[in-house]
Structure 1
Amino acid sequence: MQSLAEVLDGTPDEPSLILAEKASPVLYRKTLLHLACALALHLRKVGLKPGNVVTLLLSNTPEFVIAFFGITLARAIAAPLNPAYRREEIHYFCNDAGTKLLLLSEGTRAEDAAKGLLIPTLRMKLQYPSESSAAGTHELELLGACNQPVKIAAFPSSSNVSKPVEHQLGPLEDGPRGDDVALLLHTSGTTSKPKAVPLTHANLVASLANTMSTYEMQPSDRSLLVMPLFHVHGLMAGCLVPLAAGGSVILPAEGRFAASTFWRDAVQHQATFFTAVPTMHQILLQRSEADYPRDTPPPLRFIRSCSSPLAPAVLESLEAAFGVSVLEAYAMTEASHQMTANPLPKHGPHIPGSVGTPQGSVRLTILDSHCEPVEQGHVGEVCALGPNITKGYVGRPEANKEAYAGGWFHTGDQGYMDDKGYLHLTGRIKELINRGGEKISPVEVDNALLSHPSVQEAVTFAAPDNMYGERVAAAVVLDRHPSNAAAAIADIKAQVSEPIAAFKVPEDIFICKSIPKAATGKIQRRKMVDVFIPDAS
């Protein structure tokens, strides 16, 4: 592949999107292809130019997928945002990106939040065959602030859906190129203002090729999409990877993860894999006794975990409950998602606690603070190279100088390579707990806490301390509310003190009903002090 245009090539009459809540649930590849191409032509017609940024405020819907391809086929840049953002957040990200157009759905919180922004807005609505004026076709309705609705039908008589995507674009003679920026995402910004990460078509197709190779993706594969499409994890591994392989994507009802209907959708639509963050896996595990359909399981080939560490105890419990390999991977926005992964069982062992080996064109090294390689098995900063990695943040020269010191991309993660070439992460460098000079990995303490049978979720973090500077604290979710919290905490500390040194055992343990998380399900350690020890600041 040279650009994302080729993701839509393939067998026209095969499913691309499967909509779990619809009576006629299948959106065929030819439908997606034509609607995306027609949208690209319309965007150019209303003045969108190559390199312009289009912000998407859409949930996990067919409209998002159509919009993403339409924008990138028009050589513009897609900048997805969480549609739950407030006006101030939308304003910040749109200004930072230089947004020229907003795409959103009618009647959502995002529509209200976007009001007052001096940016043209286009509302999108996909009309299905039962709703459409043209029987048997899909139509995309587009409505601007001062315009009459424009309807794009799926199959005008002039369309030849058997031809490659480039032939569908007609007047768009300058189709997407490898060095065009296709996607603009912002980092989470836990330690500074979020940085804008530009990813080109070449970056994205390199990552897609690496990931498809890792999991041997085939046209028969179906992803059950539970990660949000505004996050690189959901967009790449959950959506574009199966589509690029000629497969399909199952979109749950209301476009979001719902544990209560997860296995029903997986069985009904024959999901072959899903990828999620550990929090989602733990929720499915907690409900497995009641929910998992042991007599009629879905045809899962593997379960993928990514975006934050998966405790070995949880991985082993998942495999025991669902009877399929759980493969942990390591990824980040700047690398167009995946860098390393545990292999499919036939290609080697998958090691609990490890995120696997470098995949495809990705190169990896462990460097010390002087940008020198460390010995095998020693801890240092994980650094990477490859065609999937961005060339630099937008407008952040100092950040780029730091991130690319020594010619490698510095991930900010600490870890080591074992004698089999598997990467083990020990935490974010800026999240390490410094207790009187002792550097403590919060991931190691998380794993110790999760080995306790009553602990369902755990997050370890640094709390301010007058004597040591920082002390170890943790928040935990238990399988049931304890009748005696002090006794429960004492029991947890006693068990945790077996696998880890005494100075690593959390001095403060907070029992809570749920652990605060970002919209993607990731835990943000640096914000835990504000939640559990508000007087510290």
Structure 2
Amino acid sequence: MAVPAAASVRDANRYRPPTLTGLADLLDRQVRERPYARALVVTGERVHLSYRGLAALADDVAARLGRTGLGRGDAIGVICANTAEFVVALLGAARAGLVVAPLDPALPASQLSARLAALGARAVLVGPSVAGAPLPLPAWPLRVEVSRAGTASVALEPGAVPDVLGAAGELSDRDALVLFTAGTTERARMVPLTHTNVAAAVQGVCATYELGPGDATVAVMPFFHGHGLFAALLASLASGGCVLLPERGRFSAGTFWDDMRAVTATWFTAVPAIHEILLDRSEHEYPGPQAPPLKFVRSCSAPLNTATQRALERTFGAPLLSAYGMTESSHQAASEPLPERGALKQGSVGRPTGVEVRVVDRSGRACPVGVAGEVWVHGPTVARGYLADGDGTAYAFVDGWLRTGDLGVLDEEGYLSLTGRIKNLINRGGEKISPEHVEDILAGCPGVAEAAVFAVPDGVYGQRVGAAVVVREGESVGAAEILRYCRDRLAAFEVPERLEVVAALPHTGKGGLDRKAVQARYAP
């Protein structure tokens, strides 16, 4: 029986979930079905690199690493910006059966060395901007040359590798990645993620946003954290889409919209701080009708206040979807759905995506709908624990459930709203105050770009509420006006008793607010 033309069109446009078992076969389907489709757009000249070309580079790196004495399940570091070298190093090492640990190239050499030693990495691949940094193990420069015609080659000369001690003894060839959880201000925890974790995480992101070969994005977030790695890079490649890697491998607000137009982007993902930057500059830089039509914009890794969310939607003409994730859950655990797939709820981070989420009280019992408690996550993306940290693992991982340390509420439709972090709560004379809630109110004040709320030590109440606020360029709002705005919207005990207008706030390497630095700078 003939299939009606309309049905054929629907079938052709139907979402197809990616098929993969982990990092090693991430490209395989696209190489089979669409070998000459663009996978990456690279260099300042925006050269296209096909799936076939990218796979060939990864196979070349895998073959070279296989001749070094590295064995399956051995750990190898990658220190590189968001360039072709990072992608080729990641996929090549995975195809060689190695466990890849991406590290922030902006970290001091001493911190890079400490993390590599703690892990027990046997070698490290370094990108162009990192070569020459003193490291305590073999560091092999990796270069990828891509011509204007799209032909590419690898320059890599690995040598012998030493036997080392470290947490890598807990790894096996079932593992794909080791990600570091913390910023530079505290000891980083090492999270091992298996190929099964990776496959489930990538499939979850692709399914949530129905990503496919027609989609493209610009890499805004760094690949050494889960946000940029899973949501932008791996999900795009697994689904047959395209990723533009900005010149020099770093986000630039000045070139962002040119990059978006160059790749005909259909979406992008970023932290709230970057969304704020784009919004502040939109009057002069957003190309309006010349901008590529976006299916959606995604925000994750920190709370996004609702005033900014709505302003972004008005400016960019696309729904802004808030998502929630963490390193221990291979990034995404919940997200607002595409508008045609469900409601968008103000202040929510959406519904679980491929995992179970529950909110529990201090005894571990599920809270009723609408009652706040700690958010726990369970499912195929959740890591087994931390490397070399038995106490941390025992506390955070309970019978397959991850205790996130986040406070939240589930509604009757399963949508999750976050109310803060347990460890961030301010105790003012017995009143527990969420700094994230106060920050959301402050950020809604006209003229305020960003806010940080922190505990100020107090001899009477134990702690009082302090705040540091960044005012948008060209605005003249002052502390008194901001506090009047707060008094109309907060309980009296939540209103900051110390408020300072500052030029900028400190952020971590992945773009979130650096609360330890804020506390040290403004609380004394």
TM-score, length basis structure 2: 0.90
Instruction: Select which of 116, 140, 165 maps to 2:154.
Output: 140
Shift of 1:478: 0.5
- C-alpha separation in 2, matches of 1:417 and 1:136: 49
Instruction: Select which of 350, 362, 375 maps to 2:368.
Output: 375
Partner of 1:173: none
Partner of 2:118: 96
Partner of 1:68: 90
Instruction: Select which of 235, 246, 262 maps to 2:229.
Output: 235
- C-alpha separation in 1, matches of 2:215 and 2:372: 37
Instruction: Select which of 504, 521, 529 maps to 2:494.
Output: 504
Shift of 1:456: 0.8
Partner of 2:268: 274
Partner of 2:37: 14
Partner of 2:65: 43
Shift of 1:529: 1.6
- C-alpha separation in 1, matches of 2:177 and 2:158: 23
Secondary structure (helix, strand or coil) at the match of 1:2 reads coil
Quick one: structure 1 residues 300 and 41, their matched pair in 2 at CA, closer, same or farther if it must change by over 3 Å? same
Q: Deviations over 1:427-472 (max 9, x none)?
A: 1110111111111111110111011111011111222222111111
The farther-off stretch of 67-76 and 457-466 is 457-466
Partner of 1:422: 415
Q: Deviations over 1:481-519 (max 9, x none)?
A: 777xxx811110011111110110111112111111012
Indicate if the aligned counterparts of 2:48 and 2:150 stay in contact, CA closer than 8 A: no
The farther-off stretch of 397-406 and 190-199 is 190-199
Partner of 1:157: none
Question: In the alignment, does 2:487 pair up with 1:493?
Answer: no
Secondary structure (helix, strand or coil) at the match of 2:221 reads coil
Indicate if the aligned counterparts of 1:300 and 1:324 stay in contact, CA closer than 8 A: yes
Percentage identity across paired residues of the two chains = 41
Question: In the alignment, does 2:434 pair up with 1:441?
Answer: yes
Letter in 1 for 2:44: E
Instruction: Select which of 239, 245, 265 maps to 2:259.
Output: 265
Unaligned runs of 5+ in 2: 1-19, 162-170
Q: Deviations over 1:184-217 (max 9, x none)?
A: 0111168962211000110010011111110011
Letter in 1 for 2:123: L
Q: Deviations over 1:241-296 (max 9, x none)?
A: 01100111011111111111111111122001100000000000001111111121
Partner of 1:163: none
Quick one: structure 1 residues 456 and 118, their matched pair in 2 at CA, closer, same or farther if it must change by over 3 Å? closer
Indicate if the aligned counterparts of 1:224 and 1:250 stay in contact, CA closer than 8 A: yes
Count of aligned pairs between the two proteins: 492
Partner of 1:151: none
Letter in 2 for 1:95: A
Shift of 1:137: 2.9
Shift of 1:102: 1.1
- C-alpha separation in 2, matches of 1:252 and 1:463: 41
Letter in 1 for 2:36: D
Letter in 2 for 1:459: A
Indicate if the aligned counterparts of 2:41 and 2:243 stay in contact, CA closer than 8 A: yes
Shift of 1:407: 4.5
Indicate if the aligned counterparts of 1:306 and 1:330 stay in contact, CA closer than 8 A: yes
Superposition pairs for residues 119-518 of structure 1, below 5 Å?
119-129=137-147, 137-144=151-158, 180-188=174-182, 193-360=187-354, 362-405=355-398, 407-480=400-473, 488-518=478-508
Structural RMSD (CA): 2.0
Indicate if the aligned counterparts of 2:73 and 2:173 stay in contact, CA closer than 8 A: no
Shift of 1:136: 6.6
Indicate if the aligned counterparts of 1:431 and 1:526 stay in contact, CA closer than 8 A: no
Indicate if the aligned counterparts of 2:65 and 2:158 stay in contact, CA closer than 8 A: no
- C-alpha separation in 1, matches of 2:131 and 2:108: 10
Shift of 1:406: 5.3
Shift of 1:100: 0.5
- C-alpha separation in 2, matches of 1:104 and 1:21: 20
Q: Deviations over 1:220-259 (max 9, x none)?
A: 1101111001111001101000110011101111111111
Quick one: structure 1 residues 375 and 234, their matched pair in 2 at CA, closer, same or farther if it must change by over 3 Å? same
